[in-house]
């Protein structure tokens, strides 16, 4: 018990847990703003706005330009992919997989805000003491046991 208790006291100190808990508090402070409801709502709104802009481009702007240039939809699509390949790769990727992933990610920011609030309430500075405290009790109990053992031996 004495060795285990001493290890529970020395271990957190030797491993720098007090420094680590201070760093965890700094990380939590830095993470608070992104996980606020206001920022989460803004991110969700921005994702919907980006999607609306891309839909507008595909369904209204590109057809209007094609009509103005007397191009068919297929000709306009080829022209856009040839003249603006990076833009069209982005639009194609957004339609294919990015939109769904961005939507899920932005909504998760709102969904997990309460979870972050719960984690934020963690008393980080107390965590090393959750190991050291029982270690002190073990050392004390072992010391008491050794003292009683010596007393009985004499």
CA 82 from chain centre, in angstroms, equals 39
Look-up: residue for tokens 């999607």?
51
pLDDT at 40: 84
pLDDT at 28: 74
> Any idea how long the chain is?
154
6 and 139 in contact (C-beta within 8 Å)?
A: yes
What is the separation, in whole angstroms, between the first and last Cα of the chain?
Answer: 23
CA 18 from chain centre, in angstroms, equals 23
DSSP run (H or E) holding 39: helix 37-56
pLDDT digits (tens, 9 = 90+) for 62-79: 999 999 999 999 999 999
Tell me the whole-structure pTM to 2 decimals.
0.55
Considering only CA atoms, give the Rg of the chain: 31
Question: Is 35's pLDDT higher than 70?
Answer: yes
38 band by pLDDT with thresholds 50, 70 and 90? confident
pLDDT at 68: 96
Lowest mean pLDDT across 10-19, 32-41, 72-81:
32-41
pLDDT digits (tens, 9 = 90+) for 135-150: 999 999 998 988 887 8
pLDDT digits (tens, 9 = 90+) for 127-136: 888 899 999 9
5 and 137 in contact (C-beta within 8 Å)?
A: yes
Distance CA 9, CA 3 (A): 10
51 band by pLDDT with thresholds 50, 70 and 90? very high
Distance CA 99, CA 97 (A): 6
85 band by pLDDT with thresholds 50, 70 and 90? very high
């Amino acid at each position: 018990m004495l060795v285990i208790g001493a290890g529970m006291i020395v271990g957190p100190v030797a491993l720098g847990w007090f420094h680590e808990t201070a760093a965890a508090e700094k990380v939590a402070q830095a993470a608070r703003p992104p996980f606020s409801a206001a920022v989460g709502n803004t991110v969700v709104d921005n994702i919907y706005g980006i999607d609306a802009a891309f839909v507008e481009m595909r369904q209204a702007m590109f057809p209007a330009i094609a009509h103005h240039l007397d191009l068919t939809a297929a000709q306009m699509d080829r022209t856009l992919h040839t003249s603006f390949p990076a833009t069209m790769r982005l639009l194609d990727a957004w339609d294919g997989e990015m939109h769904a992933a961005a939507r899920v990610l932005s909504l998760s920011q709102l969904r997990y805000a309460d979870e972050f609030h719960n984690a934020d309430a963690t008393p980080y500075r107390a965590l090393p003491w959750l190991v050291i405290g029982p270690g002190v009790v073990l050392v004390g109990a072992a010391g008491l046991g050794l003292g009683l053992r010596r007393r009985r031996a004499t």
